[in-house]
Structure 1
Amino acid sequence: MAGEHHLLHTAGGEDPIWRLWSQLPEPWRGPVIGDGIDDWEKITENGDARINLRGLPAPIPAELAWMSYWQALDGTRSSVLGTNQLANILRRAIRENYPFPPSIRAMDWETAAGLQRWFYATRWGRLAPREAAARLRVIFRFSRLALLARCSDGSWWTLDEWHPRCDPRIPLTEHEPQAHYGCSPSKISHPWLREAANWWLGTQLEAGVLRWSTVGEKMRSLVRFDRWLSTFAEPTDVLGDPAHAIQLAAAFRRWSADPANRLLRRSEQRFTHKPVHPRQVNDDLRAVAELFAFVAANPNETRQVLGPHPWSRVTDTHAAGWLRQLSRVPRQRDLNDEHYVDDHALAQIPAALPLLGLPRSEHMAVTRGDGQQVTARGFDDPQAMRMILLQILTGRRASEIRTCRLDCLSPVPDRAVDAAEGEQIARFHYAQSKIDIAPDNILVDREVVAVIEEQRQWIRDRFPGITPRHLFLQRTGNPPGRQALPLGHLQLDAPRVQQDREDHRQQGPARRPE
Structure 2
Amino acid sequence: MMSVDPVQRASLARPELPRARERNRRDKRDPRLSIADLFSEERARQLWESLPEAHRRDHFDSANMPVDYGEAFTRRTINKSRGWVTQSLSLRGLPEPMLWELAWCIHQQVVDGYSVNTLRLGELRRGLVLAVAHGTPAAQAARSLTALTHEEWGREVRGALMRTNTTANAYLPAWVENGLKHLQDRLAHAYHGGEWWRLNVWNPALDGRIPQREHEPQGRTVANFSQLTTDWFREAAKWWLSVQLSTERYVWSSVKSRLDHLKWLQWYIDEAGCAGPQLVDSPEKLRPWLLGFVESLNSHTAMTGPNKGGRLSGNSRRGPLVTIEAFYRWMYDNRAEAASVLRDRRWAGLGLQHTVLFRLEDKPRLTNQLADDLALEDEVISRIAAGSGVLAAPKDEDGLDDRQAFHALMLLLRTGRRMNEVLMMDFEPLLPLLKTRREDGKEPDGFVAQLSYQQTKITGNDPPTIPVDQEIVDIVRLQQQWAREFIASHGAPEGTNPRYLFLQTKNNRLGLRPYASATFHKRLATLTEKLAINDSVGRAVKISRTHTFRHTRATDLINAGVPIHVVMRYLGHVTPTMTMHYAKTLAVTAEREFLRYKKVTADGRTAEVDPSDLYDMLHLDQRADRVLPNGWCMLPPRQVCAKGNACLTCDKFVTDASHRDELQQQLVQTDSLISRRQAQFTARHGEPMGEDNIWLAGRLTETRALTKVLVALDQVAVHEDGRLRAVRGAGSPDRPQLQEPTA
Q: TM-score range by the shorter chain?
A: 0.7 to 0.9
User: Which residue is 1:26 aligned to?
Assistant: 53
Give the count of matched residue pairs: 468
Work out which of the residue numbers 62, 68, 71 in structure 1 matches 2:100.
62
Cα offset, 1:103, TM superposition: 2.1
Cα offset, 1:201, TM superposition: 0.8
TM-score when scaled to structure 1?
Answer: 0.81
After superposition, the Cα gap between the structure-2 partners of 1:481 and 1:225, relative to the gap in structure 1 and judged at 3 Å, is same
Distance of 1:356 and 1:157 partners within structure 2: 42
Cα offset, 1:319, TM superposition: 3.5
After superposition, the Cα gap between the structure-2 partners of 1:314 and 1:82, relative to the gap in structure 1 and judged at 3 Å, is farther
User: Which residue is 1:44 aligned to?
Assistant: 73
User: Which residue is 1:328 aligned to?
Assistant: 365
Contact 1:412 1:426 in 2 (8 A): yes
Q: Deviations over 1:192-250 (max 9, x none)?
A: 11111111111211111110000111112223322321223446262543444443333
User: Residues 267-282 of structure 1: matches in 2 within 5 Å?
Assistant: 273=309, 275-282=311-318
Distance of 1:207 and 1:81 partners within structure 2: 44
SS in 2 for 1:426: strand
User: Which residue is 1:388 aligned to?
Assistant: 409
Distance of 2:416 and 2:496 partners within structure 1: 30
Unaligned regions of 5+ residues in structure 1, if any?
1-11, 363-376, 502-514
Between 285-294 and 487-496, the greater mean CA deviation after superposition: 487-496
Work out which of the residue numbers 450, 469, 477 in structure 1 matches 2:474.
450
Distance of 1:257 and 1:415 partners within structure 2: 63
Contact 2:447 2:467 in 1 (8 A): no
Work out which of the residue numbers 229, 242, 247 in structure 1 matches 2:288.
247
User: Which residue is 1:405 aligned to?
Assistant: 426
Distance of 2:351 and 2:119 partners within structure 1: 54
User: Which residue is 1:469 aligned to?
Assistant: 499
Contact 1:176 1:433 in 2 (8 A): yes
After superposition, the Cα gap between the structure-2 partners of 1:353 and 1:27, relative to the gap in structure 1 and judged at 3 Å, is same
Between 453-462 and 272-281, the greater mean CA deviation after superposition: 272-281
Contact 2:275 2:281 in 1 (8 A): no
Is 1:289 aligned to 2:325, yes or no? yes
User: Which residue is 1:5 aligned to?
Assistant: none
SS in 2 for 1:425: strand
SS in 2 for 1:492: helix
SS in 1 for 2:67: coil
Cα offset, 1:73, TM superposition: 1.3
Distance of 1:51 and 1:241 partners within structure 2: 64
Distance of 2:144 and 2:219 partners within structure 1: 26
Between 484-493 and 96-105, the greater mean CA deviation after superposition: 96-105
Work out which of the residue numbers 85, 90, 96 in structure 1 matches 2:134.
96
State the AA in 2 paired with 1:426: A
State the AA in 2 paired with 1:477: N
Unaligned regions of 5+ residues in structure 2, if any?
1-38, 77-85, 489-494, 532-743
After superposition, the Cα gap between the structure-2 partners of 1:466 and 1:135, relative to the gap in structure 1 and judged at 3 Å, is farther
Work out which of the residue numbers 352, 358, 361 in structure 1 matches 2:387.
352
Q: Is the radius of gyration larger for structure 1 or structure 2? A: 2
State the AA in 2 paired with 1:429: S
State the AA in 1 paired with 2:101: E
TM-score when scaled to structure 2?
Answer: 0.57
Distance of 1:135 and 1:179 partners within structure 2: 27
Between 21-30 and 471-480, the greater mean CA deviation after superposition: 21-30
Distance of 1:254 and 1:414 partners within structure 2: 64
Contact 2:150 2:180 in 1 (8 A): no
Distance of 1:383 and 1:254 partners within structure 2: 47
Contact 1:285 1:323 in 2 (8 A): no
Contact 2:202 2:222 in 1 (8 A): yes
Cα offset, 1:388, TM superposition: 1.3
User: Which residue is 1:373 aligned to?
Assistant: none
SS in 1 for 2:431: strand
Distance of 1:342 and 1:49 partners within structure 2: 56
After superposition, the Cα gap between the structure-2 partners of 1:356 and 1:168, relative to the gap in structure 1 and judged at 3 Å, is same
Contact 1:116 1:128 in 2 (8 A): no
User: Which residue is 1:342 aligned to?
Assistant: 377
Contact 1:64 1:83 in 2 (8 A): no
User: Which residue is 1:220 aligned to?
Assistant: 260
Distance of 1:274 and 1:125 partners within structure 2: 55
Distance of 2:338 and 2:88 partners within structure 1: 50
Distance of 1:223 and 1:134 partners within structure 2: 32
SS in 1 for 2:522: coil
User: Which residue is 1:194 aligned to?
Assistant: 234
Q: Deviations over 1:479-510 (max 9, x none)?
A: 11111111312122689779989xxxxxxxxx
Root-mean-square deviation (CA, aligned residues, Å) is: 3.4
User: Which residue is 1:436 aligned to?
Assistant: 459
Between 91-100 and 215-224, the greater mean CA deviation after superposition: 91-100
After superposition, the Cα gap between the structure-2 partners of 1:109 and 1:314, relative to the gap in structure 1 and judged at 3 Å, is farther
